[in-house]
Amino acid sequence: MKKTGLLNSEISSVISKMGHTDGLAIGDCGLPIPEETKRIDLALIKDIPSFIATLKVVLTELQVEEVELAKETAAVSPLLFEEIKKEIGDVKITFITHEELKDKLKECKAVIRTGEQTPYANIILRSGVVF
């Protein structure tokens, strides 16, 4: 049994196989996930697990050099946007439209579906390198 860190085997497996600039998305329970993209479904009930709790755990395992967020996030869900900024620290944020974000899910290694029900609680994490 794994002793520490991320216990979800699917997420851990995806992260271990990621290379520089590969994408991993975390989304709310309403985010449409393309059929061709791996879905890691954590959603249990409304807001469990939350988007932020999931992001925090993933950030303990994945080296991130950039995140992509929908422009709409800051305007529609400003509290969530502030929490995201707090969690990612000085990581570069690239703003795209929500439609562009949904289209880019096709290129992601996986999408982690949470129980979150806050509008625009979606992010693409771009893998960095540790050297």
Instruction: Kindly name the residue from 7, 17, 20, 75 that is annotated as catalytic.
Output: 20
Residue 22, annotated as binding a ligand: no
Residue 122, annotated as binding a ligand: yes
Strands (E), 32-75: 38-41, 64-70
Is 23 in a helix, a strand, or coil?
strand
Residue 110, annotated as binding a ligand: no
Please give the backbone phi and psi of residue 20, each rounded to the nearest 5 degrees, phi first: -55, 125
User: Which of 50, 56, 37 minimizes the C-alpha distance to 102?
Assistant: 37
Task: Please confirm, yes or no, whether 57 is among the known catalytic residues.
Answer: no
What's at 31, amino acid-wise? L
| CB-CB contact of 105 with 131 (8 Å) | no
β-strands 123-127, 64-70 pairing: antiparallel
Extract the tokens encoding 117: 């029900």
- Active centre residues (catalytic): 20
Residues annotated in the binding site, as ranges?
28, 98, 120-122
Annotated binding residues for substrate, as ranges?
28, 98, 120-122
